[in-house]
Amino acid sequence: MPSIITREEINSVLPQIPVISAMKEAFIQYSNGNAVVPPVGELIFENPPGDVHIKYGYIKNQDYYVIKIASGFYENTKLGIPSGQGLMLLFKQKTGELEAILLDDGHLTNIRTVSAGTLAIKYFAYENVKRIGIMGTGTIAKLQIQQLQENNLGSTFWLWGRNKAKAHQLKSALGAAYDIRIAESCQEVAQNTHVMVTTTPADSPLLHAEDIRKGSLIVAIGSDTEHKQELDAGILQMANLVVADSMPQSKSRGEIYQAVKTGAITLENVIEFGKALQDSKWQHSTDNHNIIVVDLTGVAVQDIMIASSVFTAFQKMEK
């Protein structure tokens, strides 16, 4: 009988898991060819707008393979329902037996997503970063701010959202422990920070090349389908370093896909995240004029690692 692990049980074991280190290992295994990750399964809905991603695969010589279903329905908030939903299924790699059902409501997808963002800032931002810009006011934005501050990455956060009231709501929800500045525009965020994280489902650019200062790091999280785009292609064209979480996925989704489609860059200009994490020459550039873009479309290997880690921690708790 497979274990059924609830959201509450998942939350109880998450503090025991070094999620950022797990994401680093996941990307390294992926870029080194030790993971089997087929193309993303995807459903796009128009009325109401939403998307469902089915991501699955395994890391060679590990115990499990994972199938993850996660959705984003962006009008759910009008109904008082979180926009993100989903679950993860854990199977024994050697026999195919269902080992666990993780009823995470999409929470583990959110955690592994922001952990990749934190990892990118940890390795590519200049040291002692104090001010970080966040575009978006949803769950990912909130979790990203919390995780960055917990890891001593940033002490002041410039926040922008299309709905200014939601930006103020997020600031209030985070409380006095966080120094949140509400920006009137994405351009104001770019003027006041050198590190920015974009977390929106935008389908047209929020930031343009003329907005970006030298020495900026932009971590793009929101563009995970063919139609989404948060960065103008000109930003990637002028970047000194462009990093993809997955080269194969960059051919069909994300900021790199959009930039390649317009001819602004070619895939030869891009390095994969797991490779860059293993080579110090790509990290913490001493030239403070460099512009770096990290394009995170979300890779199944992240789901494999976090689901396996949660199940292992849950087993230990049960003993």
Tokens representing 135?
Answer: 């575009």
Q: How far apart are CA 49 and CA 72, in angstroms?
A: 9
- pLDDT, tens digit (0-9, with 9 covering 90-100), for 161-191: 999 999 999 999 999 999 999 999 999 999 9
Sign of the C-alpha dihedral computed for residues 198, 223, 144 and 121 taken in this order: negative
Which pTM was predicted?
0.94
Q: How far apart are CA 132 and CA 3, in angstroms?
A: 40
The pLDDT of residue 283: 80
Q: Which residues of the chain have pLDDT under 70?
A: 284-287, 319
Tokens representing 63?
Answer: 């115990």
The pLDDT of residue 310: 97
Structural domains of the chain in order of their starting residue, each with its CATH number: 3-108+301-318 (3.30.1780.10), 113-295 (3.40.50.720)
The pLDDT of residue 287: 60
Per DSSP bridges, beta strands 195-198 and 131-135 are: parallel
